[in-house]
Amino acid sequence: MNKRILFIGGILLALSCSKNGGGEGAPASVDAEDVLLHRYDDYMQAPVVKNSHAEETGGSCLQPIWSCRTVIPHAILTAAAPASVSVEQKTAVYPRIKKVADGTYLMFYHGGEFGSRVYLTRSNDLVEWSDPVMLYSPYAVTIDGAEDIRRFVNMDAVVLADGEILAVCSYREEKNYAKGIGGGLMLIRSKDNGKTWSQPRTIYEGPNWEPYLLVLPDGRVQCYFTDATPQTRNSGTSVIVSEDRGVTWSEKVRCCRLYKYLYDGDNTEYTGQKIYTDQMPCFRILNDGKTLLGFLEDRLETPASIKGSSYCRMSLVWNDGFEWKNLGEESAGPEKRLSSVVKGAAGYIEVFPSGEVVLSCGRSSLFSMKIVDSEGGYNSTENWDSRWYTPFEEKGYWGCMERTSPHTLAAAMHGNSGMQIGLFWLNHRIDAAKSAVTCDGNSSEWKNEDLLFLSTPDGAEVIIRASRDEQYLYLLSEFVCPSGTDPRLDLKLLKKNGNGTCSMTLSSSSSAPVSVRRGKTRMQQSGFAAEAAIPLKELGSPVDGDRIPLFATLSSSGKQETFTLSDISKPNTWQTILLR
């Protein structure tokens, strides 16, 4: 046996280990042999226990995967537009990213804030995108004997169980929209993952904006939309339903409306017609399999400002089951709701199998995401103005999200220079289960697929996994090192009962007792693995069921990244390791 010296939290620890790293679990000497390194994408489809983190979503966060970050210039996304169109029409807005059956990604969007043309582009990795294809362009129509122009906006899509794609967009007549005349919803479908599309057909007629498609567990398809009365700024959300995969559709049901005021022309008196809001709908099914959660925009103003400006706040609504009460023309609802809880616009929802519900909206023109509990925050003491994460640098409007695996989420939003697109890993509590670990820098015996992820803008990445036995907590960190980078990981662990912290640094130059091995990923990316054993007694002797808070900083090329929204002075914001 030989002695290794480990420096943790200002204490020199003498560890016993065998020369080959076996036996008592303490680290072995450095071995230069190449090993297989793992990345986050090796675990994107790792199984998840439903609602495994439903009671602890306050510690969950979305971590940017910098290697999947891009901004596509507007000139590229609208290159298919005729040279004669206005500059405004050459701005790409209103993205909707969808992962389709063959694993590729489609992004729909339209040109210009008020739109005329709907486009589609495709990607394998969310970074490189194909040349755009124009799905809709404006054309002349005749309304009541007068010529008008039909324009298209707000495409949304959904993938059915067999992989067929339904895509719906809103259309309006340019001159008649303000009069409440014309407009509707058009549907196209694809059976080859978006390579070719059917001829469009109208599935609803009437002024509208912002359709949103949702497939129910029984196969029915719901199409929600902003049900607009342009003359009075009256809106609300309605829904139509198809029981035959989008071939035929029901009559509309007015399902969500927030009362604003009574309006009588330009008078300032509160008399006359009831005016409502609740618009730009997005709905998801919660993990209980029966509750619909909606995140809707409230466009608010007073009757006196009907010709002036308005402002937006966001409301959450819940419906028990998939059938909606018809509100008719005079009612507001549903009753279960949190109205105007936060200032923002253009809401979106995603739900992770592990229990986290993610909300997004534009706050001060910045795309912002917030994780709430598995019920959407209804019964929590949520501070709705806190813990919003703004991943994109440029201001813009109309963002979206798409969960791409049980552990990842894609997001996009228009910005000044182009479409901002990113992929995010869901960091949350990881488990350290009892297992036999040889601390030699080789992860071949590691079975635990729980991981924490960090990356830096230069492309350096690390995944952190944990294991334990009766004496040690083992940490395995696997680094990807793009050319010219040499990342370093600084870790701080909180001792049991908050009695101080333990610190350590992992890098390619770490020496015993940290075991370091060079290696490559399955995609031949270079990097290294660093494996360390920390005596449990130096962490306050935690036992089964105890949690060890962890703060991590990844440094590379002068840049540093920590866990999103984590504060080194507040251990309750750190990630945690649960001893099993």
Sign of CA dihedral 437, 442, 443, 444: negative
Residue at a domain's end among 427, 447, 462: 427
In order of 135, 242, 261, 364, 562, the CA distances from 550 in angstroms are 49, 48, 51, 32, 11
Does the pLDDT of residue 8 top 60, yes or no? Answer: no
Query: Which amino acid makes up residue 235?
Result: S
What is the C-alpha separation between 348 and 286, in angstroms, rounded?
A: 14
Give the pLDDT score at 12: 31
Residue 538 and residue 453 share a domain: yes
Model pTM score = 0.93
Residue 481 and residue 500 share a domain: yes
Residue 331 and residue 294 share a domain: yes
Mean pLDDT across the chain, nearest whole number?
Answer: 92
Give the pLDDT score at 379: 85
Q: How confident is the model at residue 19 (pLDDT cuts 50, 70, 90)?
A: very low
Residue 94 and residue 11 share a domain: no
Q: Tell me: the pLDDT tens digits for 460-490?
A: 999 999 999 999 999 999 999 999 999 999 9
Q: Tell me: the pLDDT tens digits for 30-78?
A: 445 689 999 999 999 999 999 999 999 999 999 999 999 999 999 999 9
Residue 191 and residue 177 share a domain: yes
Residue 45 and residue 76 share a domain: no
Residue 457 and residue 388 share a domain: no
Into how many domains does the chain fold? 2
Sign of CA dihedral 256, 224, 212, 290: positive
Give the pLDDT score at 307: 67
Give the pLDDT score at 11: 32
Q: Mean pLDDT throughout 117-145?
A: 96
What is the C-alpha separation between 201 and 203, in angstroms, rounded?
A: 6
Residue 77 and residue 197 share a domain: yes
Residue 349 and residue 273 share a domain: yes
In order of 51, 106, 259, 282, 340, the CA distances from 432 in angstroms are 19, 37, 51, 37, 41
Q: Tell me: the pLDDT tens digits for 189-216?
A: 999 999 999 999 999 999 999 999 999 9
Alpha helices per DSSP H over 466-523 = none
Q: Assign 75 to helix, strand or coil.
A: helix
Query: Which amino acid makes up residue 321?
Result: G
Residue at a domain's end among 410, 427, 444: 427
Q: Assign 305 to helix, strand or coil.
A: helix
Residue 452 and residue 385 share a domain: no
Residue at a domain's end among 379, 404, 427: 427
Does the pLDDT of residue 344 top 70, yes or no? Answer: yes
Q: Mean pLDDT throughout 116-125?
A: 97
Lowest-pLDDT choice from 88-102, 298-312, 548-562: 298-312
Give the pLDDT score at 193: 98
Q: Tell me: the pLDDT tens digits for 146-197?
A: 999 999 999 999 999 999 999 999 999 999 998 999 899 999 999 999 999 9
| Longest distance between any two alpha carbons in the chain, whole Å | 96
Give the pLDDT score at 23: 34
Give the pLDDT score at 266: 65
Kindly state the percentage of the chain with pLDDT values over 70: 92
| Exposure string over 127-148, b if 16+ CB within 10 A, otherwise e | eebeebebbbbbeeeeeeeeeb
In order of 93, 384, 500, the CA distances from 364 in angstroms are 17, 15, 39
Give the pLDDT score at 388: 98
CATH number at residue 281: 2.120.10.10
Q: Which residue, chain included where needed, has tokens 């707000």?
A: 154
CATH number at residue 477: 2.60.40
Q: How many CB atoms lie within 10 A of CB 348?
A: 24
Residue 348 and residue 364 share a domain: yes
Q: Are 79 and 132 in contact (CB under 8 A)?
A: yes
Say if strands 2-8 and 345-351 run parallel, antiparallel, or are unpaired.
unpaired
Give the pLDDT score at 71: 98
Kindly state the percentage of the chain with pLDDT values over 90: 83
Does the pLDDT of residue 253 top 90, yes or no? Answer: yes
Give the pLDDT score at 4: 35
What is the C-alpha separation between 36 and 22, in angstroms, rounded?
A: 20
Instruction: Tell which residue, 285, 311, 309, has the closest CA to residue 298.
Output: 311
Residue 103 and residue 77 share a domain: yes
Domain residue limits at 449: 2-53+431-579
